[in-house]
Amino acid sequence: MTPADLSTTVLHAVRRAVDEDALRVAVPERVRVERTRPGGSGDYACAVALQLARSAALPAHEVARILKDRIAAAPGIGRVEITGPGFLSLTLDASTDGAVRTALVREVAARGTEYGHGTALRGEEPLLPYAAEVRAAVTADAVAALLRSQGAAPRTVATGPADPAWSRLGVTADTAPGHGTAGTAPGHGTAEPAATVRPVPAGAAAAELVERLGPDAARWGLLRAAGHDRAALGDGLLVQSAANPLFLVRYAHARTRALVRSARDLGVHGAPQPHEDAGAYGEPAALALTALLADHPAVLLAAARHRAPDRLARHLEAVAHAFFDFHDACPPLPAGDEKPSAAHRSRTALAEAAGTVLAGGLSLLGVSAPAHV
């Protein structure tokens, strides 16, 4: 089950408790479910009881007790515990969770690089005015791509003169007439006010960045840091080392593609079948990787809503690290005289899914994902 699935499960439990008059609260639109932190109990944690306690006029621990059995009765839930002042600790049913991981890998294969795209922001037409500076221009461009991935129809507009060299970084500039007021789109004088995209300036011009770093490294460097932090735009972006996050992410993608090619040469290919043993995804390294892939849709939506492409960049780094851990702990390819098995096919499919997520995420950031590095 993904965090989104668990959030829906918890909301259903709240709604059921309200319908049964066990709780007298307004059912929230959404609740947050997160992976349990190291040292914590269960697979996921939820603070919905603390969220509802005040309006319910009950202690948070009592609200958690009311919700506990209702959540535990849902399919896919193995155990629910109450910890601390009223946190709900959720442990997934092992047998169901294995099937869910197999279904996740198949979903990524079916949706390709559009896995994680959704319609949560459909109908929204946000205006994204941005400062006339290269980092702001690239950030607005990436935010617009993230918003489109979630169904919105954004429009970007520079609030000052555009630099023609921005096009070398993939930015198509639309400048407001007279460099208009932030929040006013060209031809739309009554547009709703919007906050100007204004990260800490890059301190260098687009042409200089492209000449020194190339478009991919320049875009990654401009987007990787949060907007309130300075962008790291040194020559380290060109170093072929795991210490360079851009190289790590792109190399992980290239490695997944190489594995898939080798697997096909060995006759190991195709998505895992629903009836196959999902035990290949039960190892800790596989669990960590599938959890990150399952989180990908929520990461894209959060990055879009918060206008924060750096969230996606950091998520891709986490996926790359988890892929290499999985690759080392659970070799996708048979070694020596070992015969290909269903486990190898399942592992190869998971590696391919990781590569697909990396490629899709890089694409949204406007960075290429080469098959060879």
Average pLDDT over residues 190-217: 88
pLDDT digits (tens, 9 = 90+) for 23-39: 999 999 889 998 887 77
Which stretches of 306-341 are DSSP H helices? 309-329
**Residue that wins the pLDDT comparison between 38 and 144:** 144
pLDDT of residue 30: 86
CB–CB of 69/236 below 8 Å?
A: no
pLDDT digits (tens, 9 = 90+) for 1-57: 677 788 889 999 999 899 888 999 999 988 999 888 777 788 899 999 999 999 999
- What's the whole-number average pLDDT of the chain? 89
Rounded to the nearest 10 degrees, the angle between the axes of helix 342-364 and helix 94-111 is 50
**Residue that wins the pLDDT comparison between 281 and 223:** 223
pLDDT of residue 41: 83
User: 278 in helix, strand or coil?
Assistant: helix
CB atoms within 10 A of CB 270: 12
Residues in the chain: 373
Q: Is the pLDDT of residue 71 over 60?
A: yes
User: 106 in helix, strand or coil?
Assistant: helix
Q: Is the pLDDT of residue 184 over 60?
A: no
CB atoms within 10 A of CB 19: 10
pLDDT of residue 180: 41
pLDDT of residue 1: 67
pLDDT digits (tens, 9 = 90+) for 81-131: 999 999 999 988 766 667 778 888 999 999 999 999 999 999 999 999 999
- The residues near 325 (Cβ < 8 Å, ≥ 6 apart) are 285, 288, 289
Candidates 153, 171, 140; CA nearest to 308 is 140
197, exposed or middle or buried, with CB in 10 Å at 0-12, 13-18, 19+?
Answer: buried
pLDDT of residue 183: 39
pLDDT digits (tens, 9 = 90+) for 267-302: 876 666 555 545 667 778 888 898 889 889 989 998
Percentage of the chain exceeding pLDDT 70: 90
Verdict on whether the full-model pTM lies above 0.85 = no
Q: Is the pLDDT of residue 138 over 60?
A: yes
DSSP bridge partners of 155: 127
